[in-house]
């Protein structure tokens, strides 16, 4: 096993994901199996290969808008009311969340 219970719980905390004990056990088994497959990558020689993060066309052409930043112009966004329509809880024009600071 590459992973332990503790690793799974640590990663779940990083991901803000609540897992039940049963889910944690299953996750340990599944992730271990998947990571075993992924270790095959260690075999392939990538010396001097530049990492490819994105398929981006015209990246070498500064005139190409795709590869550059758009002009910094003001443009309309969603109205506040519309933006709040799907919020589980809102009020006074804001998203509402449970208390942040514990006393």
Give contact residues for another protein (rule: CB under 8 A).
7-8, 11-12, 14-20, 23, 26-27, 30-31, 33-35, 37-44, 46, 49-58, 64-66, 70, 78, 82-83, 85-89, 95, 97-100, 102
Kindly state the smallest distance separating residue 92's Cβ from another protein, in Å. 15
| Chain center to CA of 77 | 24
DSSP string computed for 6-60: HHHHHHHHHTT----HHHHHHHHHHHHHHHHHHGGGGGS--TTPPP-----TTTT
**Residue 22 is encoded by which pair of tokens?**
């049963």
For residue 91, the cross-strand partners are 94
Minimum Å gap between C-beta 15 and another protein is: 4
**Between 5 and 65, whose beta carbon lies closer to another protein?**
65
- To another protein, the closest distance from the beta carbon of 1 in angstroms equals 14
């Amino acid at each position: 096993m590459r992973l332990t219970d503790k690793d799974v719980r640590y990663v779940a905390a990083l991901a803000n994901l609540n897992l039940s004990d049963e889910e944690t056990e299953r996750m340990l088994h599944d992730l271990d199996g998947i990571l075993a497959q992924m270790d095959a990558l260690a075999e392939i020689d990538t010396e001097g290969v530049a990492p490819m993060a994105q398929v981006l066309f015209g990246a070498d052409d500064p005139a190409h808008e795709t590869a550059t930043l758009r002009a910094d112009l003001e443009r309309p966004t969603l109205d506040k009311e519309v933006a709040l329509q799907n919020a589980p809880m809102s009020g006074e024009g804001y998203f509402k969340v449970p208390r942040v600071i514990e006393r």
